[in-house]
A and B are shown apart, each in its own frame.
Chain A
């Protein structure tokens, strides 16, 4: 881990914090059967950094990510991204916010099966229904080249390998120039070579495009690509490590196993 320096920020994204979470709780069900997936979580993420979220299965990683990304409503607490408190937005505003500011890469089912790779990449623009701003088209072409997707653009997801599908999903997140990109186990279905490729691209998007990336992962190797590591246990944050060593992360995780 060498990246302790903050990468240069793109104009317009310069804020003190990329994302800020206060007192975030999520409870499923109620009464005796209530499951506390998150218990009053506080978390601050600096802009232009690649953060890995780790922790044992069922610790609330996906739940935290869904709430932070405005895909689900927390039971309590607030989530502020790009200066906007997501919990105060109604569904339409929240949807527009996601469209304009956030990007997603999931473990699987990232792409619409009836659309080609290019159509999938352009989907956020299609949904906006607006014309692309100047420079967007060039950035998209650049992203496509960087991700090595040029000769696969007219294929449908069914005709792409798992790694290629994930690359298309990353291309979509980067093409829309998201403030924060959320990735839930993006390499969970990939072999080590494909994983390495995908992680390298996420890393590059932070370095070259100045994005902020939050990635949920189980794998130590994947976490090694991140700047910071947040370790969750039992619905709470056990540790928030800045540029930790591999051994430090392993130690934090084991703490949960004790």
Chain B
């Protein structure tokens, strides 16, 4: 049997290439996931490491520490003659000489003691006084800040002015934009303390540790212990991401199983005669079976090896790419964990052998007589076929029932289970559904083209093979469609919510009247589509003095917010962005405002929205407050696609001159929308790996079927089909298969997305509805069809090159 085994491995290597590629991609994917994870982990480790100075002890928990602890640690340090430095951050407003840096700039601490300083000062020097600050190089560059400039930090009474004395370099995850001393930062009253670093100068570390443990509530740890604990806890996020990515690797692996199983089925079908002949000349069943199993193990070992090697190479390349794109502070050196590599290798081998197992069993059933009979066209009307169809129907029905039930009861796990079961059902029904669809698509397209007619006749010849081929692509297209449609629906809900929350893109508001020249200046800015100037006034109340505006009906229409649109005559509506004016006492239920005609009591309504520092009243109410409303607020609508940061910057410059405050809603909106885009594209990119494997599978099936039919092609060529004609017929076949997978996949994916929307999204946004992203789905169809076409170009070219005479004598 050994001569047979080696001869057949040699002869059939080429036909195994696709299975090899499929396994290689899946295994390499797993290796790459580990490598990218290690890159992220190493970056985290380096960044955490450099965030904490070379102290002896660190006082702190995993997240923050008790409020009174920093003061106590500082007291202990003062008593014992040691040094301590509080590591804290605040998010607050910072104004530079050329306008604002933003409303929530990250402001952190810097140690005054050089021994405890983790900040890397590149220009100038570290601050020595509480009225001095360091600014990160990036922030300084983008805001045009130079040494010696003065910054205003904080809001309200906590505002203070500091002088920039140095520029810093970002090196850790705790790198803020602006650094202050701890006394200066704590004076802002909004700081969040991370930990306190402690350097022992007198006595032993153990003594200091004991002294600290007595007075503080938080843990006191050796510096290195604290840092490694932090690294472990930060890595959890990366690990979770790694496991999520493994899900996509599992999808890719599943697709690879389909491709491998299909490849073996086809190869063994083509070799039925060989097997039968072997049986005729006296090989036992066991011998034949063992020889094909050894073949599959050999393939598995080779494929897993190439996968690991390919993964190692791809990791290197991606590591370089990631560092170039994300910077070396967010992506570090990559390394590979031996366990993970081993698992990828073993997984690849096991996957291949398991995928080959079922097809090899069919080999045993070959009777010696099969060698003497002409090759038969297979049919689905076997007992096994019927069992399979019954199972498929059952799966589809049960899965659908589970989906409906999940929708009724809003149970997500049930929905996922239902989706999977019904999908497996559809895959089992493939030999019935796919040929029917192939005939339908073929008949429609075949009306216009002869090659397509022949192609569709060819594609339905072996229903099970066509079904198996389309199955792999079906997985990818269904998931991609479900993701695209689900995200489009979710996005619409999110956007509806955001429109309510952010009725205007940007708002300029102040306490005094806005001059017409300022309004004209804003109107003339690039990126500004429209400016609304609702009339308003300042009113004295029993509490603070308020700015109120009364948008007209037309203006209310433009702001898209129903809660503002319906403001009653006895009502005053506060956006969440303005309730800060009540400070300590909180928002009252009613306010009494002074008017010329005596006090007027209005019911307060607060809405979760942002339109600047102004409350909204009805035009009638405004008439009672003032004889003539003046402009107090500018509501700016941005052009589509305007850059939020640019616009905020230019508006900030205008606002600074006119003593107005900018409320930027656009940046938030664009950020959310960017996050959604990133999410969709990441998921699609990850699914792409599975789709790539599926396309290898399609190329493979078409390629192998082409080999199998070389006699027919020779006949067609003899009878007058040109090379081009043959190429077109074969390409049309690949395209038809891909198109059918894509059509079925988009239909299924949309259905699953609908269940997802009614089960998951509607529990968060009751008004959510299915949104079908037609353009994107059309793109999926076109891409799938083109990819199917592309995957058949090579085999078709090869087939067309053969001279008819050579094809006729081929076996």
Q: Which residue of chain A has its CB nearest to the CB of B724?
A: A92
Total A-B residue pairs with C-beta atoms closer than 8 Å? 75
Contact between A109 and B711, CB atoms less than 8 A apart: yes
Q: Of residues 71 to 116 in A, which have CB atoms within 8 Å of B's CB atoms? A: 71-73, 91-92, 95-96, 98-100, 104, 106, 109-115
User: Contacts of A96 on B, CB cut-off 8 Å?
Assistant: 720, 722
Contact between B725 and A71, CB atoms less than 8 A apart: no
Q: Mark A119-153, 1 if CB is under 8 A from B, else 0.
A: 00001101111000000000000000000000000
A158 at the interface (CB under 8 A from B): yes
- Nearest-neighbour CB distance to chain A for B459, whole angstroms, equals 10
| Bound complex: CA A158 to CA B806 (Å) | 24
Q: Which residue of chain A has its CB nearest to the CB of B804?
A: A71
Contact between A91 and B716, CB atoms less than 8 A apart: no
- Nearest-neighbour CB distance to chain B for A113, whole angstroms, equals 6
- Nearest-neighbour CB distance to chain A for B680, whole angstroms, equals 42
- Nearest-neighbour CB distance to chain A for B717, whole angstroms, equals 7
User: Contacts of A238 on B, CB cut-off 8 Å?
Assistant: none
Cross-interface CB contact of A126 among B377, B450, B714, B715, cutoff 8 Å: B450
Cross-interface CB contact of B718 among A62, A98, A158, cutoff 8 Å: A98
User: Contacts of A218 on B, CB cut-off 8 Å?
Assistant: none
Q: A110-B715, A115-B457 are in contact. Are A95 and B722 (CB under 8 A)?
A: yes
Q: Mark B697-715, 1 if CB is under 8 A from A, else 0.
A: 0000000000000011011
| Bound complex: CA A66 to CA B376 (Å) | 28
Contact between A91 and B718, CB atoms less than 8 A apart: no
| Bound complex: CA A124 to CA B808 (Å) | 18
Cross-interface CB contact of B720 among A95, A109, A113, cutoff 8 Å: A95
| Bound complex: CA A113 to CA B711 (Å) | 11
Q: Which residue of chain B has its CB nearest to the CB of A95?
A: B722
User: Contacts of B450 on A, CB cut-off 8 Å?
Assistant: 126-127, 129
| Bound complex: CA A46 to CA B427 (Å) | 61
User: Contacts of B719 on A, CB cut-off 8 Å?
Assistant: 98-99, 104, 123-124, 127, 172
| Bound complex: CA A89 to CA B523 (Å) | 74
Q: Of residues 364 to 418 in B, which have CB atoms within 8 Å of A's CB atoms? A: 376-377
| Bound complex: CA A112 to CA B710 (Å) | 11
Contact between B718 and A104, CB atoms less than 8 A apart: yes
| Bound complex: CA A172 to CA B376 (Å) | 24
User: Contacts of B441 on A, CB cut-off 8 Å?
Assistant: none
Q: A109-B715, A114-B461, A126-B450 are in contact. Are A71 and B720 (CB under 8 A)?
A: no
| Bound complex: CA A63 to CA B310 (Å) | 47
A69 at the interface (CB under 8 A from B): yes
Cross-interface CB contact of A106 among B721, B725, B808, cutoff 8 Å: B808
User: Contacts of B541 on A, CB cut-off 8 Å?
Assistant: none
| Bound complex: CA A111 to CA B711 (Å) | 10
Q: A71-B803, A92-B723 are in contact. Are A114 and B458 (CB under 8 A)?
A: yes
- Nearest-neighbour CB distance to chain A for B802, whole angstroms, equals 11
Cross-interface CB contact of A100 among B377, B718, B720, cutoff 8 Å: B720
Residues of B within 8 A of A (CB-CB), count: 26
Q: A95-B723, A109-B711, A114-B457 are in contact. Are A73 and B718 (CB under 8 A)?
A: no
B436 at the interface (CB under 8 A from A): no
User: Contacts of A124 on B, CB cut-off 8 Å?
Assistant: 719-720
B783 at the interface (CB under 8 A from A): no
Question: Max chain B CB contacts within 10 Å: which of A62, A95, A128?
Answer: A95
- Nearest-neighbour CB distance to chain B for A185, whole angstroms, equals 12
User: Contacts of B724 on A, CB cut-off 8 Å?
Assistant: 92
| Bound complex: CA A3 to CA B719 (Å) | 30
| Bound complex: CA A83 to CA B714 (Å) | 25
Contact between B716 and A127, CB atoms less than 8 A apart: yes
Contact between B711 and A72, CB atoms less than 8 A apart: no
| Bound complex: CA A253 to CA B154 (Å) | 112
Question: Max chain B CB contacts within 10 Å: which of A92, A112, A113, A123?
Answer: A112
User: Contacts of A95 on B, CB cut-off 8 Å?
Assistant: 717, 720-723
B679 at the interface (CB under 8 A from A): no
User: Contacts of B457 on A, CB cut-off 8 Å?
Assistant: 114-115
Q: Which residue of chain B has its CB nearest to the CB of A109?
A: B711
Question: Max chain B CB contacts within 10 Å: which of A92, A104, A106, A114?
Answer: A114
| Bound complex: CA A106 to CA B716 (Å) | 13
Q: A72-B805, A72-B806, A126-B450 are in contact. Are A158 and B720 (CB under 8 A)?
A: no
User: Contacts of A91 on B, CB cut-off 8 Å?
Assistant: 722-723
| Bound complex: CA A95 to CA B720 (Å) | 5
Contact between B461 and A69, CB atoms less than 8 A apart: no
User: Contacts of A172 on B, CB cut-off 8 Å?
Assistant: 719
User: Contacts of A98 on B, CB cut-off 8 Å?
Assistant: 718-720
User: Contacts of B716 on A, CB cut-off 8 Å?
Assistant: 112, 123, 127
| Bound complex: CA A111 to CA B716 (Å) | 9
Q: Which residue of chain A has its CB nearest to the CB of B711?
A: A109
Q: Of residues 459 to 483 in B, which have CB atoms within 8 Å of A's CB atoms? A: 461
- Nearest-neighbour CB distance to chain B for A199, whole angstroms, equals 21
User: Contacts of A100 on B, CB cut-off 8 Å?
Assistant: 720
User: Contacts of A62 on B, CB cut-off 8 Å?
Assistant: 809
Question: Max chain B CB contacts within 10 Å: which of A96, A127, A172?
Answer: A127
User: Contacts of B805 on A, CB cut-off 8 Å?
Assistant: 66-67, 71-72
Q: Which residue of chain B has its CB nearest to the CB of A99?
A: B720
User: Contacts of B809 on A, CB cut-off 8 Å?
Assistant: 62
User: Contacts of A127 on B, CB cut-off 8 Å?
Assistant: 450, 716, 719-721, 725
| Bound complex: CA A112 to CA B718 (Å) | 12
Q: Which residue of chain B has its CB nearest to the CB of A62?
A: B809
| Bound complex: CA A62 to CA B808 (Å) | 11
| Bound complex: CA A158 to CA B718 (Å) | 21
User: Contacts of A115 on B, CB cut-off 8 Å?
Assistant: 457
Q: Which residue of chain A has its CB nearest to the CB of B801?
A: A91
| Bound complex: CA A76 to CA B337 (Å) | 64
| Bound complex: CA A92 to CA B808 (Å) | 19
- Nearest-neighbour CB distance to chain B for A121, whole angstroms, equals 11
- Nearest-neighbour CB distance to chain B for A73, whole angstroms, equals 7
User: Contacts of B720 on A, CB cut-off 8 Å?
Assistant: 95-96, 98-100, 124, 127-128
Q: Which residue of chain B has its CB nearest to the CB of A103?
A: B719
| Bound complex: CA A66 to CA B807 (Å) | 11
User: Contacts of A109 on B, CB cut-off 8 Å?
Assistant: 711-712, 715, 808
- Nearest-neighbour CB distance to chain A for B719, whole angstroms, equals 5
- Nearest-neighbour CB distance to chain B for A217, whole angstroms, equals 17
Cross-interface CB contact of A73 among B376, B715, B725, B803, cutoff 8 Å: B803
| Bound complex: CA A104 to CA B717 (Å) | 11
Q: Mark B629-646, 1 if CB is under 8 A from A, else 0.
A: 000000000000000000
| Bound complex: CA A123 to CA B718 (Å) | 11
Contact between A72 and B804, CB atoms less than 8 A apart: yes
Q: Mark A18-46, 1 if CB is under 8 A from B, else 0.
A: 00000000000000000000000000000
Q: Which residue of chain A has its CB nearest to the CB of B374?
A: A158
User: Contacts of B711 on A, CB cut-off 8 Å?
Assistant: 109
- Nearest-neighbour CB distance to chain A for B443, whole angstroms, equals 15
Q: Which residue of chain B has its CB nearest to the CB of A126?
A: B450
Q: Of residues 153 to 211 in B, which have CB atoms within 8 Å of A's CB atoms? A: none
User: Contacts of A128 on B, CB cut-off 8 Å?
Assistant: 720
Question: Max chain A CB contacts within 10 Å: which of B461, B718, B720?
Answer: B720
| Bound complex: CA A215 to CA B557 (Å) | 89
| Bound complex: CA A73 to CA B716 (Å) | 17
Q: Which residue of chain B has its CB nearest to the CB of A69?
A: B718
Contact between B377 and A71, CB atoms less than 8 A apart: no
| Bound complex: CA A71 to CA B802 (Å) | 10
User: Contacts of B722 on A, CB cut-off 8 Å?
Assistant: 91-92, 95-96
Q: Which residue of chain A has its CB nearest to the CB of B721?
A: A127
| Bound complex: CA A104 to CA B807 (Å) | 14
Q: Mark B720-757, 1 if CB is under 8 A from A, else 0.
A: 11111100000000000000000000000000000000
| 10 A–B contacts from the bound complex (CB under 8 Å) | A66-B805, A71-B804, A72-B806, A95-B722, A98-B718, A100-B720, A104-B719, A109-B808, A114-B461, A124-B720
A-B pairs with lowest CB-CB distance, top 3: A99-B720, A72-B805, A66-B805
**Given pairs A72-B805, A104-B715, A127-B450, 14 additional interface contacts (CB within 8 A):** A62-B809, A67-B805, A91-B723, A96-B722, A98-B720, A99-B721, A104-B718, A109-B712, A110-B715, A112-B712, A112-B715, A124-B719, A127-B720, A127-B725
